[in-house]
Amino acid sequence: MDKIRIVGGNTLKGSIPISGAKNAALPLMIASLLTSETLTLENVPHLADVELLMRILGNHGVDISVNGRRERQTDGYARTIHFNCPTITDTTASYELVRKMRASFWVIGPVLAREGVARVSLPGGCAIGTRPVDLFIDGLKALGAQIEIEQGYVEAKAPSGGLIGAHYTFPKVSVGATHTLMMAASLANGTTVMENAAREPEVVDLANCLKAMGAKIEGAGTGTITIEGVTSLSGARHTVLPDRIETGTYAMAVAMAGGDVTLENTDTALLSSALEALRAAGTEITSTASGIHIVGHGDDIRPVDIRTEPYPGFPTDLQAQFMGLMTRARGTSHIVETIFENRFMHVQELARFGADISLSGQTATVTGVNELHGAPVMATDLRASVSLVIAGLAAKGETTVGRVYHLDRGFERLEEKLTRCGAEIERISDG
């Protein structure tokens, strides 16, 4: 099993290209199930989750080519991938597939809307929380679907004339459920109004793609999204937006290790709350023609309190990285996690570097220390794993991060991008 080895202490200087957003690419890929024509996506990152979803979509009958070649024949940056699904050949998404990636459950919306039936495995548990699918089920029921849960599968059936537009209010904000219902409602009969919808940039990106395919959607990016259903959708060409979580992660790495780095092909507007917290911590951040310029002062980090919230609040997907930064702050900070009930598993691993962190419920109190020291650590989930990389860049001595398959799910060529800025980091294999 691969590990990542880091020798800390180097400042970061240069530029890092930001990849397309994983959290946008996945629902965009699933949207290919809504049309019999070709959906072409540009700026798709090369990630484990993207590769897995391509296999899942293939099982449903989606024909996939990458940059004009058959899938998996190229692994470069900013890939262009073509998805074509003339016929959905299988309306079942098996447990063996869905259990590997929760986002694959979202196929239930397009498959049900297009075929009238869908059978999708419940996704099961998750390392950072239960993430129940009740909002998905309730929303689809509001659109007229009959749903039963049998032997671990959600079995959904649309009315004989297809799904029916409805007014639905999410009892809590859910990005995945917003994606799923927006796709399903695009082919429903009549108008759907979704209240308390997620406002994330990735939701807006999906809405823009669906509109390019012929959907009639208004209000994406606000709490109220209105969809007027159409009888069919066409193909389209769409560019995946930049990854705001990758942007914030590298900005925090520069803030902690120190240095001067330009993050290319990204935009400050995608993560204003996280950048505000970084500025409060003493990081210099300016917009440029090509992206964002970051100047970090690793030995002069100010403590900042944060609270994770749905967009436009501080992203839960940057909480672990920011905690890593705060371990070197000159004072005490408090980090409150409100989205997931079990997203502090990285605390014990950060403590192995010498970090001073105490937990009380969903609040972490972080008292900055003068030095971190390299250590062998273990990744527990995608975002937690990269917080350990950030800590390793600033720690004295050598760090090894195990279970890096978590990293491969969401960070494209992480070692290469950091190496080009002067970090001493490499992937090593036990075998």
One-character DSSP codes across 41-110 = EEEE---HHHHHHHHHHHHTT-EEEETTEETTS---SSEEEEEE-SS----EE-HHHHTT-GGGGGGHHH
**Residue 215, phi then psi, degrees to nearest 5:** -70, 155
Radius of gyration of the chain (CA): 22
307 is in an annotated binding site: no
173 is in an annotated binding site: yes
133 is in an annotated binding site: yes
Tokens 């010498």 -> residue? 354
131 is in an annotated binding site: yes
385 is in an annotated binding site: no
Strand ranges across the sheet with 153-157: 92-93, 117-121, 153-157, 146-150
333 is in an annotated binding site: no
Tokens 């972490």 -> residue? 364
317 is in an annotated binding site: yes
Distance from first CA to last CA of the chain, Å, rounded?
7
102 is in an annotated binding site: yes
306 is in an annotated binding site: no
Report residue 70 CA to chain centroid gap. 25
175 is in an annotated binding site: yes
3 is in an annotated binding site: no
279 is in an annotated binding site: no
90 is in an annotated binding site: no
Q: Identify which of 186, 111, 171 has the alpha carbon closest to the alpha carbon of residue 135.
A: 171
Active site residue 126: yes
Strands 12-17 and 2-7 come out as: unpaired
Residue 312: is the preceding peptide bond cis (ω within 30°)? yes
Catalytic residue (one of 85, 126, 209, 421): 126
> How far, in Å, CA of 103 to CA of 176, rounded?
7
Q: Which residues are catalytic?
A: 126
Residues marked as binding for UDP-N-acetyl-alpha-D-glucosamine? 102, 131-135, 172-175, 317, 339
- Binding site for phosphoenolpyruvate, by residue number, is 22-23
Which residues carry a binding-site annotation? Answer: 22-23, 102, 131-135, 172-175, 317, 339
